[in-house]
Structure 1
Amino acid sequence: MPAPPTESGARQRLARGLYSAALYALSPLIFRRIWREQVPTHPRRQRLGFGLGVLPPTPRIWLHCASVGEVRAAKALIEALLARYPRHSLLITTMTATGAGQVQALIDAQTETTRPRLAHRFLPLDFPGAARRFVARVKPAMALMFETELWPNLLHACARRGVPVAVVNGRLSERAFSRYRRIRPLMAGALANVDWLAAKSVADAHRFQALGAPRRVSVIGSLKFDVAVSDSRLEESKRSLLGKSDRPVWVAGSTRDGEEALILGAHRALRQRFPQALLILVPRHPQRFDEVAALCEQEGWRTARRSENAAVADDVAVYLGDTLGELATLYAAGDVAFVGGSLVKLGGHNVLEPAALGRPVLCGPSLENFIDVAEPLLQAGALEQVETPAALASAVAALLNDPALANARGQAGIEVIRDHQGALSRTLKGLDALLSRDGEGPVS
């Protein structure tokens, strides 16, 4: 039975009404931006809850990940859900085309048995009608929001249909908390529709509770640590890329606008000490692949492109990783890894990806968005922060010059990851409880 109306509930309903009105008022600007995110296999009307096509069979679990980084971080959870709930299919939604590409790479990697049970669609914009249409069409047995995806109208639509909702790997940075606190009635209303919030840290749990999370909140640790470490299949990456060549190779992954020029400057300095050094450069966003290729050519670098299956001849100085779903393979092909989004003030990206492969990891000073997983690596010496391109070149050179040091740092990273694993099993246990209340728990 619904709880009787309260003054707090009235404020929350008013806040959601004002929020929806603001969305409608801003819709021309929203559509102009979102309409550029086009994937040929996904009609644009999916942004309004239409055109979902044939969905995988019910019962169906819905998992929402904002973009490519969240999909990568959720990979272990996705695979575990497919294995733990064999009677269920899994629908993954993203907001971005890059996220869609990452999901497609996961689908392509599935077996013939599991592939039909995994699908991707775009998340509808959070208009009330679009949210209702989407939830009514998907009919999820359970809805999972990854990290900080709290869309008020979508969560309200789930609650109206009795869909249990969990926030998994719940993350709320201090900066995001400061923003959300200004609209606390709206966020409190959204959180009121969450049945279980699995926070990755005590600090995150406290922030969610301060915003008004009224139901069960648990601290389960970060799912990002639950990755497979040192995949032996990837150890052949360098050999398949370079053949019998023993050139020193470093990888700059998930680079962002304005960062590639700094990295190429570091590469120029590095090649003064290691003339045969090869840089594998992997921009974060596919829409910038051609732009970065042009930058490399303008600066005089002989460049080969992954998408063209170009050979890495001895005179190639930069290898552009311009494909989706291959970042781990490219990290594994290097002797040293640099994680981008950190030499520019963007908060960094996931430093665990190369660490899980036993690679020594470098990053820039901006790491706010991943400080929770970075701190253990920093303390163990598996991760080193550099302030400038010159310092980056020196750090790469030091590791290339001392393979024993590089190996020790790589092994330290693997040990950190293994020591912090376990969030996945705790998350699955909590999800079992949500599904079992409707008689749809895991098959034992």
Structure 2
Amino acid sequence: MSPLSRLALGLYSALTWAAQPLLRRKLRRRALAEPGYGLRVAERFGHYGDVPVGGHPAPAGPLVWIHAVSLGETRAAAILLGALRQQLPGMRLLLTHGTATGRAEGEKLLQPGDVQVWQPWDTPGAVARFLRHLRPAIGILMETEVWPNLIAACRAQGVPLVLANARLNDKSLHQAQRMAWLARPAYAALAAVWAQTEADAQRLRSLGAPVQGVFGNLKFDVVPDAAQLAQGRAWRAPLPRPVVLLASSREGEEAMWLENFKPNRPPEQAHRALPAINNEANGAQDTAANASVQWLIVPRHPQRFDEVAQLLERAGLRVARRSQWADGPDAQADVLLGDTLGEMALYYGLADVALLGGSFAPLGGQNLIEAAACTCPVVLGPYTFNFAQAAELACAAGAAQRMPDMAQAMQVATALAHNATALAQAQDAAAQFAQAHRGAAQATAQAVAALLCRDPMALG
């Protein structure tokens, strides 16, 4: 590391150390709404108490550390973990997170001998205590998580640290370039980077990252929960109206939806948004596309479930919450509200068409691949920079359509849900699209195993 890089890292370390009281205060505030943020706070500062030294009281297979900061990264980590357990029999998992939803989801992945703790705050002391206490054989950072002190300490202690399922959009690249004095040494010190797309790889290389492969997106390897999917489809069958889902909606998007929602009123000219298929199908559109649909909204973050329910009810809508369904959704409700975690396969099974949350506000879009794996076609908004290539490929394959705003997206989704021919074609396209891009999990697991084999001591 050059003298300038050491100076930059020292300044950064001083700032992260000074910010610790602010972090504690933020955690206390977050814990009021999400109690998970109040659990085991000392772990965030490198104090692990009763956590077994080395991750387990007795030697076994290698301790493979995966850092999945939040819910989406944890779901991607779950896909990778299945391939890793096959590739490395006897491995033990060390799983770290930054958010309460990520940690709650991660608990489902643990097996005997595995360990789950909070990510250490990126000060030299907390990071040193983390590595000294838990002693991982290798570290896997998911998608975008680059922490300068963590990377520098792993390199100094000989712990290979990689960035898997890596992505970097233009906005993040420009931010990193503005702090190149800190970002470039951090990216360059990684042991390997495996990118989702060639465009991601080029942006990462421009920051000095050692990109060793473009493996695709792990989320293409998702296998939807078969029981949930079947339950959703069983609940869909008796409903008198098609179901259109606003999936993983983010703050502000439900209000956009409300502005354009007209209960029991047909969306005017909706059928014009669909391309012509044939005269017979178009004739069906003229009458069917104007019929009403059953709307289902699933907010992305659980802390917003009550907020969204109140927003809808204040607008005079009758809301049926998933947590209160007995034998299925209430067909008389104006809006169905998905207020549970871990049931997206059920919601996609229940839906005929989905609008992609996070894409109607400048938030980059949520994961459209899960919808495709459930054979649910998607209508996108204008903002999909978090899944730019996947969105382009999905649109090219006919698994998705892009609209410039919520109003037109709602019209197109409603029209598609009522056009049996177009809907069947879009569902087939979604299934083929999801299947065509699988394989990232196996490639990543093999690359991790190869890195471990370079250091036999790491295998335990």
TM-score, with normalisation over the residues of structure 1?
0.89
Which moved further from structure 2: 215-224 or 292-301?
215-224
Q: Secondary structure at the match of 2:262?
A: helix
Match of 2:272 in 1: none
Q: What root-mean-square deviation, in Å, do the aligned CA atoms of Structure 1 and Structure 2 show? A: 2.5
Q: Secondary structure at the match of 1:281?
A: strand
* Alpha-carbon offset, residue 9 of structure 1: 1.9
**Does 2:72 correspond to 1:69?**
yes
Match of 2:352 in 1: 335
- For 1:63, the aligned partner's letter is I
CA distance in 1, matches of 2:410, 2:352: 14
Which moved further from structure 2: 44-53 or 292-301?
44-53
CA distance in 2, matches of 1:432, 1:263: 47
- For 1:84, the aligned partner's letter is Q
Match of 1:46 in 2: 43
Match of 1:404 in 2: 421
Which moved further from structure 2: 218-227 or 139-148?
218-227
Structure of greater relative contact order (alpha carbons < 8 Å, 6+ residues apart): 2
CA contact (8 A) 1:267 1:279 kept: no
Match of 2:295 in 1: 279
CA distance in 1, matches of 2:157, 2:264: 59
CA contact (8 A) 2:381 2:402 kept: yes
Q: 1:26 aligns with which of 6, 15, 19?
A: 19
Match of 1:78 in 2: 81
CA distance in 2, matches of 1:51, 1:433: 30
Q: 1:201 aligns with which of 197, 203, 206?
A: 197
Percent identity for Structure 1 against Structure 2: 38
**Does 2:314 correspond to 1:298?**
yes
CA distance in 2, matches of 1:198, 1:417: 20
CA 1:198/1:25 → structure 2, altered by over 3 Å: closer, same or farther?
Answer: same
CA contact (8 A) 2:27 2:38 kept: no
CA distance in 1, matches of 2:20, 2:47: 17
Q: 1:223 aligns with which of 218, 225, 229?
A: 218
Q: Secondary structure at the match of 1:116?
A: coil
* Alpha-carbon offset, residue 270 of structure 1: 7.0
CA distance in 1, matches of 2:49, 2:92: 15
CA distance in 2, matches of 1:337, 1:441: 45
Match of 1:103 in 2: 106
Match of 1:120 in 2: 116
Q: Secondary structure at the match of 2:412?
A: helix
* Alpha-carbon offset, residue 220 of structure 1: 2.1
Count of aligned pairs between the two proteins:
427
CA distance in 1, matches of 2:291, 2:459: 56
Q: 1:89 aligns with which of 87, 92, 109?
A: 92
Q: 2:134 aligns with which of 135, 138, 156?
A: 138
List per-residue Cα deviations over 1:187-210 (Å, max 9, x = no partner): 222224311111222222222222
CA contact (8 A) 1:348 1:369 kept: yes
Q: 2:208 aligns with which of 185, 189, 212?
A: 212
List per-residue Cα deviations over 1:28-67 (Å, max 9, x = no partner): 3333323425417831112112236435535311111121
CA 1:340/1:80 → structure 2, altered by over 3 Å: closer, same or farther?
Answer: same
CA contact (8 A) 2:168 2:204 kept: yes
Q: 1:359 aligns with which of 357, 364, 376?
A: 376
CA distance in 2, matches of 1:241, 1:120: 36
Which moved further from structure 2: 339-348 or 383-392?
383-392
Q: Give unpaired runs (5+ residues) of structure 2.
A: 268-289
CA contact (8 A) 1:432 1:441 kept: no
CA contact (8 A) 1:225 1:421 kept: yes
* Alpha-carbon offset, residue 278 of structure 1: 2.2
CA distance in 2, matches of 1:61, 1:153: 19
Q: Give unpaired runs (5+ residues) of structure 1.
A: 1-7, 108-113
Q: Secondary structure at the match of 2:355?
A: strand
TM-score, with normalisation over the residues of structure 2?
0.86
CA 1:242/1:423 → structure 2, altered by over 3 Å: closer, same or farther?
Answer: closer
CA contact (8 A) 1:205 1:217 kept: no
Q: Secondary structure at the match of 2:3?
A: helix
* Alpha-carbon offset, residue 239 of structure 1: 4.7
Q: 2:159 aligns with which of 155, 159, 163?
A: 163
- For 1:193, the aligned partner's letter is A
CA contact (8 A) 2:403 2:409 kept: yes
Which moved further from structure 2: 342-351 or 199-208?
199-208
CA distance in 1, matches of 2:448, 2:180: 27
CA 1:364/1:16 → structure 2, altered by over 3 Å: closer, same or farther?
Answer: same
Match of 1:15 in 2: 8
